[in-house]
A = this chain, B = another copy of it.
């Protein structure tokens, strides 16, 4: 019989943060997923409380993930979880992900994929070995407008590409709030939990990923300057990278967490020989397309607009004028991941649309980006460094 829904477990994502609930909404929205178990916090009380808030029965709320994986693996197939979502600080991505894969569970992971490049490569090998599916929540490539941008670039509407600007300004770390309780700044600014990079790992990777996704080209070399503006902080909170991509494309990436007043303003502009295109995440349902000698075009995102491509439409839920947002972009990753897993379970071949979500290879390249940008950015201020494999 055809399997139509997947059973999800969760590691991390308790009610003390906001991102667990985002994952849950994104996963549940299409009615292809149900939450069956979770270990939501290293604090058993928080885990219990979160699980109950999420309407789980107590016996499927766990206090550590090893126990969860073992217990779930022992349940009958129609009961046990099919995949696990891991929403923990970077330091704690690898172990649960590896454990899950070893027990046959598919995985959804927050970015950056791991704490170190070595861990990333190990995950890649495990995914290749098991044939399981791993999705990485580079959420910004889940927006339909970004899909449309990619499709139009691929179709040559801009001509040969030349120049790209990507920015990711935030302001929430403009003060040393990591010394206070009750925010998510603590582990993000602690190299022992976050990894080599702070700002560049947390948001620079999203900006880098957007560049490669929309152009289909890889960065080959970069020259960066990383900064720590807030005194006492042991990690970058701001940075810039001049990047050389394949086919001679030049990209300029900036990311900052001290741009006071900016919320989450990731945006990208790509220019080719014939046109330029712009997308701004905080206004996500419009693309701005300019060609040299005709009026600027505003490409509105909506299921009923005939000028949109099939890939965008696959990822749109509403007609024009009914704004979609962050949760829907997240939900696109979940839907495509879910459909891919269901296809495999039902012995079907996932379509290209289904396979359009970030995975383990994006994760490895993300860790390579962090390695490269950190070497270039800190060593002596800025020098050209070849992409680290």
Contact = CB atoms under 8 A, between A and B. Distances in A.
Interface of A: 4-5, 18, 21-22, 24-25, 28-32, 34-35, 52, 54-55, 158, 162-163, 165, 167, 170-172, 174-175, 223, 225, 227, 229, 238, 240, 242, 250, 252, 254, 256, 258-265, 269, 271-276, 281-285, 289-300, 302-307, 317-328, 381-382, 384
A260 B276 contact: yes
Contact of A289 (B238, B292, B295, B307): B295
29 contacts: A18-B317, A28-B29, A34-B34, A163-B227, A163-B229, A163-B238, A163-B259, A171-B290, A174-B292, A175-B273, A242-B242, A259-B269, A261-B276, A261-B289, A261-B290, A263-B320, A281-B323, A282-B285, A282-B321, A284-B323, A289-B295, A293-B305, A295-B298, A295-B299, A295-B300, A317-B327, A318-B327, A322-B325, A323-B326
Contacts of A384: 381-382
Given A25-B29, A261-B290, 14 more contacts: A29-B327, A31-B54, A31-B55, A163-B227, A171-B292, A260-B271, A261-B291, A262-B290, A282-B323, A295-B297, A295-B298, A295-B300, A318-B325, A324-B325
Contacts of A261: 271, 275-276, 289-292, 296
A382 B223 contact: yes
Given A292-B261, A307-B295, A381-B384, A327 B326 contact: no
